[in-house]
């Protein structure tokens, strides 16, 4: 079975441009998570969805960030306008609804974003 | 401020030596997970511990969950270069599905 697929793997763009990151979760997984990883702050949860519905977006840093999940097999994270401090590795993860105590998250390989 | 504090931040040892990584918090978690992340890849789950005092073994890796479910440790026996990576602990809140990650411990095993 294919794992979580993210695209693009690398993105370099200029400040002010719109950036769209894409994620295809593992088929059948009910939960989808977007994380950001930096050296300074480690791995931070930005937002997560359950059955395509956003449940908690309290980790989204600013209004410049938005995420959608139009169907069970696709999600996007958009930054508009982008700023240099948004540079990081963005991960998407998905998991089955197995209950609170046993919930492995399966991560994609991430998108390395550089804003110049 | 990290909800989960990992120590040490960096660890470099010789092949064959043992090592222990610690994960501490003032919060109680319903479960705690350990992940390993290699460069250019996402974290991969190693183990989930659920019960206070629980010990799980995965080949040369031993994971322990504290009695109060606030802390955990990862011990590697006879480390090998293939154990090199970033080790992350993550606590699952008892209120929601959110994982809180520690900052990680970078382990380097020299041949």
Asked if A90 has any chain B CB less than 8 Å from its own CB, the reply is no
pLDDT of residue B42: 95
Task: Give the span between the Cα atoms of B1 and A20, in whole angstroms.
Answer: 29
What is the least distance, in Å, from the CA of B104 to any CA of chain A? Answer: 8
Model confidence at A10, pLDDT cuts 50, 70, 90, reads very high
Report residue B77 as tokens.
């026996």
pLDDT (0 to 100) of residue A98: 55
Give the mean pLDDT of chain B: 93
B48 neighbourhood in chain A, CB within 8 Å: 101-104
Residue of A18, A35, A58 lying closest to A107 (CA atoms): A35
Cα dihedral across residues B82, A34, B72, B13: positive or negative: positive
**Cα distance from A103 to chain B (closest Cα, Å)?**
8
Contact A22, A4 (CB under 8 A): no
Using CB atoms, which residue from B40, B97, B101 is nearest to A109?
A: B40
| Contact list, A98 vs chain B (CB under 8 Å) | none
Checking if the pLDDT of A101 tops 60, the result is no
pLDDT of residue A96: 87
Determine whether the interchain pair A42/B43 forms a contact, defined as Cβ–Cβ distance below 8 Å: no
CA distance A91 to chain B (A): 7
The model's pLDDT over B74-102, given as tens digits with 9 standing for 90+, comes to 999 999 999 999 999 999 887 776 889 99
Q: Which of B29, B97, B103, B104 to mutate: most A Cβ within 10 Å?
A: B97
Q: Count how many pairs of residues, chain A against chain B, have C-beta atoms within 8 Å.
A: 58
Gyration radius of chain B over CA positions:
13
Instruction: Report residue A102's pLDDT band, with 50, 70 and 90 as the boundaries.
Output: low
pLDDT in tens, A42-75: 899 999 999 999 999 999 988 999 999 999 999 9
- State the average pLDDT over residues A88-102: 80
């Amino acid at each position: 079975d294919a794992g979580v697929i993210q695209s693009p793997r690398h993105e370099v763009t200029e400040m002010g441009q719109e950036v769209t990151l894409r994620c295809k979760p593992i088929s059948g997984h009910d939960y989808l998570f977007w994380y950001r990883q930096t050296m300074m702050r480690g791995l931070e949860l930005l937002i997560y969805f359950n059955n395509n519905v956003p449940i908690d977006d309290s980790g989204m840093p600013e209004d410049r960030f938005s995420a959608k999940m139009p169907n069970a097999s696709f999600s996007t994270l958009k930054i508009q306008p982008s700023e240099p401090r948004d540079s990081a590795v963005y991960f998407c993860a998905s998991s089955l609804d197995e209950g609170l105590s046993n919930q492995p998250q399966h991560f994609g390989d991430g998108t390395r974003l550089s804003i110049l | 401020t990290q909800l989960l504090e990992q120590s040490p931040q960096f660890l470099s040892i010789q092949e064959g030596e043992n090592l222990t990584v610690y994960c501490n918090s003032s919060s109680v978690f319903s479960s705690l997970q350990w992940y390993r992340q290699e460069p250019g890849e996402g974290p991969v789950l190693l183990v989930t511990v659920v019960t206070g005092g629980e010990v799980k073994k995965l080949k040369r890796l031993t994971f322990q969950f504290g009695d109060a479910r606030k802390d955990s440790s990862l011990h590697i026996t006879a480390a090998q270069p293939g154990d090199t990576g970033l080790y992350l602990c993550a606590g699952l809140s008892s209120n929601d599905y959110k994982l809180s990650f520690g900052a990680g411990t970078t382990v380097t095993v020299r041949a």
